[in-house]
Structure 1
Amino acid sequence: MHEFEKYRAPSGKDVVALVQKHPFALIVSSAPGEAPVATHAPVVIPHDAHPVDTFVGTTLFGHIARSNPQWRGIDESVPVLLVFGGPHGYISPTSYEQDPSVPTWDYAAVHLTARVEVLEGADDCMHIVRETVRASEDLMPVRWDDTTSVPTFEQIIGGVVGFRLHIIAEKAVFKVSQDKSDDVRARVARDARERGDAYGDLASLVDSRGRLVCPVTGDA
């Protein structure tokens, strides 16, 4: 992903917060001579990891269905790309109230490059699945306790392949009208709210010039 200088993330903490709040990632891998393949899957921060300003040097967890052939084609010596999408939305020139104008798209996104450990063992996969549940429940207003469901997990865990994803590089773009005047940005945020923010809370990002202002619960 190309990082535009004027659309860089406000801080490393904002990059971490976006991934934590939007963990449904695109896992992209490629084999020599073949087109890249991708799977949409949750990728989460383990409870004992505490990235603050960067993911580089940390490890994330992910898993996909064993029936998905992508995992068999992963070469652990070849990095994969993890794509996380945050709030985004079309910006109509009607928000600018000036002519001539051109439309654009505001968005926030994070790309992480990772070395992969493929984990097929039931214990490893169970650990990753439960970590995924924990991280996801951290985002819920009321937590669900998975304790009584562990026997059910054990019955179906054979259908899962897990990943440890060791992050070696990160890029981020927070393009949220920060190159516009305060009055234009206020109208962009207002219009995003009025249309319902179908693709996440873009209005809050625009209001804050790209800063993730909503706190994230949990340990990570």
Structure 2
Amino acid sequence: MFIPKYYKITDMKEIKEFIKMNSFATIVAISKGRPVASHVPLLLNQDQDDYYLTGHLAYGNPLWKTFEETDQLLTIFNGPHAYISSSWYEQENVPTWNYQAVHIYGKASIMEGKELEQDLSKLLEKYEKFRENPVLWEKLSPEMLQKEIKGIKGFKIKVEEVQAAYKLSQNRNSSDYANIIKELYQEDDPHASAVAEAMKKNRND
């Protein structure tokens, strides 16, 4: 990913939080010389100094069959994004687009047995625990779980390279920056409002 110096993020703590909040990722692999992709919720796990992305695919999804032949997958996490009009600047300029994104490269391997069950349990915990009637692993029947597990392939991707970009108008002066935030809030668009929030946080950090 091309990242100008203004926008490069290297703080792993911040990147981990971004992935946690934007965990529905796009996984890209190469199959027979052609790019293939799937969209999957992932968890970021740490094992001592190593990081792993974990998730699962439907058994019928051919992406998992590329894991052995693919040295590195590309996993993309996208955050909020919004059009930035140059009419919001003090001086004449061209419009642009603000966004947040993280790219992760790594080798994937299949995850089975107890390791897969633990990962599925953690995934349910993340998305269900705050609900009124949470559907957690221990509440589901073992018979149903074993039947459903047969229909998926679990996997983990060892994180080998991380590229993170927050393009949030960091190159603009304070007046333009404040005006961009104000205008984004007035766009009546949840993506634009989320970018405004990210800009406020970025300038305050």
State if a TM-score over 0.5 links the two structures: yes
Given that residues 126 and 154 in structure 1 are in contact (C-alpha distance below 8 angstroms), is that contact kept between their aligned partners in structure 2?
no
Return closer, same or farther for 1:210/1:133 CA change in 2, 3 Å cut-off: farther
Name stretches of at least 5 consecutive residues in structure 1 with no aligned partner.
214-220
Structure 2 equivalent of residue 39 of structure 1: 38
The 5-angstrom pairing of residues 1-220 of structure 1 reads 1-9=1-9, 11-31=11-31, 33-46=32-45, 49=46, 57-75=50-68, 78-98=71-91, 100-119=92-111, 121-137=112-128, 144-146=134-136, 147-151=138-142, 152-199=144-191, 201-209=194-202
Given that residues 55 and 154 in structure 2 are in contact (C-alpha distance below 8 angstroms), is that contact kept between their aligned partners in structure 1?
yes
- Structure-2 separation of matches of 1:197 and 1:107: 14
Return closer, same or farther for 1:202/1:137 CA change in 2, 3 Å cut-off: farther
Return the structure number with greater strand share. Answer: 2
Return closer, same or farther for 1:183/1:142 CA change in 2, 3 Å cut-off: farther
- Structure-1 separation of matches of 2:41 and 2:17: 15
SS at 1:195's partner residue? Answer: coil
Q: CA deviation at 1:84?
A: 0.4
Return closer, same or farther for 1:50/1:191 CA change in 2, 3 Å cut-off: farther
- Structure-2 separation of matches of 1:185 and 1:143: 43
- Structure-2 separation of matches of 1:79 and 1:44: 18
Return closer, same or farther for 1:143/1:22 CA change in 2, 3 Å cut-off: farther
Name stretches of at least 5 consecutive residues in structure 2 with no aligned partner.
none
Return closer, same or farther for 1:196/1:143 CA change in 2, 3 Å cut-off: farther
- Structure-2 separation of matches of 1:5 and 1:181: 16
Q: How many residues align?
A: 202
Q: CA deviation at 1:182?
A: 1.4
Q: Deviations over 1:135-154 (max 9, x none)?
A: 3347x577835131354433
SS at 2:140's partner residue? Answer: helix
- Structure-1 separation of matches of 2:87 and 2:26: 33
Return closer, same or farther for 1:8/1:74 CA change in 2, 3 Å cut-off: same
TM-score, normalising length from structure 2? 0.85
- Structure-2 separation of matches of 1:4 and 1:148: 48
- Structure-1 separation of matches of 2:125 and 2:183: 35
Percent identity of equivalent pairs: 26
TM-score, normalising length from structure 1? 0.80
SS at 1:128's partner residue? Answer: helix
Q: CA deviation at 1:101?
A: 2.2
Code of the aligned partner of 2:197 = S
Q: CA deviation at 1:188?
A: 1.4
Return the structure number with greater helix share. Answer: 2
Return closer, same or farther for 1:160/1:196 CA change in 2, 3 Å cut-off: farther
